[in-house]
Structure 1
Amino acid sequence: MSNVIINLENIDITFYQKKRVIEAVKNVSVQINKGDIYGIVGYSGAGKSTLVRVINLLQVPTAGKITVGGDVTYADGQVKLSSGQLRQKRQKIGMIFQHFNLMAQKTAYENVAFALRHSGLGKEDKDQKIRQLLELVGLANRADNYPSQLSGGQKQRVAIARALANDPEILISDESTSALDPKTTKQILALLQDLNKKLGLTVVMITHEMQIVKDICNRVAVMQNGLLIEEGSVLDIFSNPKEELTKEFIKTATGIDEALVKIEQQDLVQNLPKNAILAQLKYAGTSTDEPILNELYKNHQVTANILYGNIEILDNTPVGEMVVVLTGQVDDLVAAQTAISEAGIELTVLKRGV
């Protein structure tokens, strides 16, 4: 039995505005497995939000086939479900947004209750469910507060509770942390991760920040100008990005570019001795366990001065990078570089001493 919960095949979305033709999404195919936290990343105008709107048919594609939860919802230019079936399908897809979309005149409790108005639950069952949902998102003591009395993070928690009201199988987050400060963003991401595990939710994250993908997702698709340009596990994409845009996103997420600017200003780097090189090392998996720099001195008499180091755990695998000054005789430096590469570490020479 297939584990795929969302399958988008060859999706095109074209808008016609007066004399303009806008190809918002061009021939995109995506498979999302049940239980994934799947990131779709790209700058504004990349087509990511438009693409995700086809999952629950808020946006009908111009061409392509959509399968959600085993049911074909759209194919051959037409909707394949009745309006009643479509409504039921949409109830299994929760959505949270950047600006929360809460009703200002209703309390946190009433905002969640609004999502249950067609549920068919009795008054007591409905009350119990609302309180359970607010407890699940850490707001049991805020049920009677209005949105104006809540912080941004608390508002987003209410929005998440509301999105979970109809027991969805899929939760779509459309830039849901963009309006939040970094600390609150991390708390909301941790909550989404917790819900993914506790409820078996499939989460689709739309974002322009690769940092968010790095923190929470297990798979990622990168979009540019309506095209899907790169897709894979977060570990694969971060350790071996192919496209320039992906590399740009990753540099921003890891902070290496900012670090390099500061490193290049150091006296040691500006006056690099001729028997030295400035090198960037990138490594993943078991290569992070090896005392490679110690081995360089022991085997090749090459010393390593670490100017920058960063290691993270992506999908339970250590991934990191380092900027070092390697110093030694010319032949020893060559041998050291070979040893580094043979250890499965990617080495880029940034500068040579003169």
Structure 2
Amino acid sequence: MTHPIIKLDHIDVTFHQKKRTIQAVKDTSIHINPGDIYGIVGYSGAGKSTLVRVVNLLQVPTAGQITVDGDLLFDQGKIQLTAEGLRQKRRQIGMIFQHFNLMNQKTARENVAFALKHADMTKEEKEAKVQALLEKVGLAERAENYPSQLSGGQKQRVAIARALANDPKILISDESTSALDPKTTKEILGLLQELNRDLGLTVVLITHEMQIVKDIANRVAVMQDGQLIEEGSVLDIFSNPKNDLTQDFITTATGIDEALVKIYRQNIVKNLPEDSILVHLKYSGATTDTAIVNDLYKSFGVSANILFGNIEILDTTPVGELVGILSGSPEQLQAAKEGLAAANVAIKVLKGGE
């Protein structure tokens, strides 16, 4: 049985400001397994960054229990480690941020080396380690460049190399791609995936974009107003979201919301024939390998006009969706809907069939 590497149980974080009391995190529990790429999604103010900062006690909670890699860090309202013990534990937890946090007066090499300042290594060992880290993140040729001479993606690679300097078991990414363009974002996410795979790193992603979680995570938690509102595998969450906010995140990430705006403007949809219905189909796994649309005509005499289609790979499992117009008699359409449901295809009628 796998034991979680991060256990946050019943975490509360309360801030007192003058006459106001702010509950940033309310009774939230999250367990993250070794080797997970775990996404925590929420809009600004949801409490996700505050929650993750309690993992290494950069934010001390008001209540709850924190266990990291088998060690109890916080319980009964108190830190359970000595100052030296906490320092050692923090070295196991690397962090990267949206704005890189590099020292402008130091080169890429010096920025990475700074993280090894207190390491029990010779000068030569430190130099070799820094070189290996820069190579690992694909930036060896930029070692002597200053941050002002680097692109956003290159700065983030330096920050990742620095975060890896003390061989952490956990890497926390706090909106680390928010300042990057889409192409560079994909490259950085690809690097995080590679580090997760090659080094066995547990990666915790904090983001307001479900697209980022969709691309690389295997589990996801959704937060709103300081509370955890939904948690599960990426496949489960995308296939069957329980919460309206989660559904909002997913429709944005898959592009279906933008597609539907355009679909509803089409004349064929505006003037939908009486024998037709506009449907949204969702399916996953082996179902994506079958000729769903072709089978509708063969099995039920229902013709299909596809207006939008998309297939994603979520944690190695294909997930697809279609928006289209199905045409046939009421009896044929009903039989087709029942046939789709039997084939594990979720069907939602968007228009027609009243």
TM-score normalised to the size of structure 2?
Answer: 0.99
For 1:317-341, what per-residue CA distance to the aligned partner results, in whole angstroms no more than 9, with x for missing partners?
Answer: 1101100100111211111111111
Trace 1:284-299 onto structure 2 (pairs within 5 A): 284-299=284-299
* Secondary structure class of the residue paired with 1:148: helix
State the partner residue of 2:32. 32
Is the contact between residue 216 and residue 315 of structure 2 (CA under 8 Å) also seen in structure 1? no
1-structure distance, mates of 2:4, 2:90: 17
CA positional deviation for 1:313 = 0.8
Deviation at 1:300, TM superposition (A): 1.4
**Structure 1 position 353, deviation (Å):** 6.5
State the match for 1:85 in structure 2. 85
| CA displacement 1:293-348 (0-9 Å, x = unmatched) | 11111121110010000001111111011001001112111111111111110100
Partner of 2:124: 124
How far did residue 3 of structure 1 move? 2.8
Once the two structures are superposed, the pairs formed by residues 243-322 of structure 1 within 5 Å of their partners are 243-322=243-322
For the residues of structure 2 that align with 1:4 and 1:329, how far apart are their CA atoms?
54
Q: CA deviation at 1:165?
A: 0.3
Write the distance in 1 (CA, Å) between the matches of 2:261 and 2:70. Answer: 50
Q: How big is each residue's C-alpha offset from its partner over 1:167-191, in whole Å with a ceiling of 9 and x where there is no partner?
A: 0000000000000000000000000
Q: Describe the SS at the equivalent of 2:176.
A: coil
**Distance in 2 of aligned mates of 1:98 and 1:108:** 17
Q: Which runs of 5+ in 2 are unaligned?
A: none
SS at 2:67 equivalent = strand
* Corresponding position of 1:233: 233
1:46/1:227 contact within 8 Å kept: yes
Q: Which amino acid aligns with 1:46?
A: A
State the secondary structure of the residue aligned to 1:23. strand
Distance 1:120 1:290 in 2: 58
1:216 aligns with 2:216: yes
TM-score normalised to structure 1 length: 0.99
Kindly indicate whether the alpha-carbon contact (under 8 Å) linking 1:271 and 1:353 is maintained by their aligned counterparts in 2: no
Asked whether the 8 Å contact 1:49–1:206 carries over to 2, the reply is yes
CA contact (8 A) 1:238 1:250 kept: yes
Q: Which residue of 1 aligns with 2:323?
A: 323
Q: Tell me, yes or no, if the aligned pair for 2:11 and 2:25 is still in contact at 8 Å.
A: yes
Distance in 1 of aligned mates of 2:264 and 2:66: 50
Amino acid at match of 1:321: E
State the 1:2 CA deviation.
4.0
1:54 aligns with 2:54: yes
TM-aligned CA deviation for residue 155 of structure 1: 0.2
Question: Per the alignment, in what secondary structure is the counterpart of residue 232 of structure 2?
Answer: strand
Report the more deviating stretch, 292-301 or 186-195. Answer: 292-301
SS where residue 220 of structure 1 aligns? strand
The code of the aligned residue for 1:209 comes to E
Are the aligned partners of 1:41 and 1:48 in contact in 2 as well (CA < 8 Å)? yes
Distance of 2:317 and 2:61 partners within structure 1: 37
Q: CA deviation at 1:90?
A: 0.3
* Structure 1 position 287, deviation (Å): 1.5
Q: Give the partner amino acid of 1:272.
A: L
Once the two structures are TM-superposed, the CA of residue 35 in structure 1 deviates from its matched residue by: 0.4
Q: Which runs of 5+ in 1 are unaligned?
A: none
1:159 equivalent in structure 2: 159
Residue equivalent to 2:13: 13
Preserved contact between residue 272 and residue 353 of structure 1 (Cα < 8 Å): no
Residue number in structure 1 paired with 2:195: 195
Length, aligned pairs only: 354
State the secondary structure of the residue aligned to 1:222.
Answer: strand
Distance (whole Å) between structure 1 residues aligned to residue 51 and residue 160 of structure 2: 21
Q: Secondary structure at the match of 2:5?
A: strand
RMSD over aligned Cα atoms: 0.9
Residue 318 of structure 2 aligns to a residue whose secondary structure is strand
Between 287-296 and 277-286, the greater mean CA deviation after superposition: 287-296
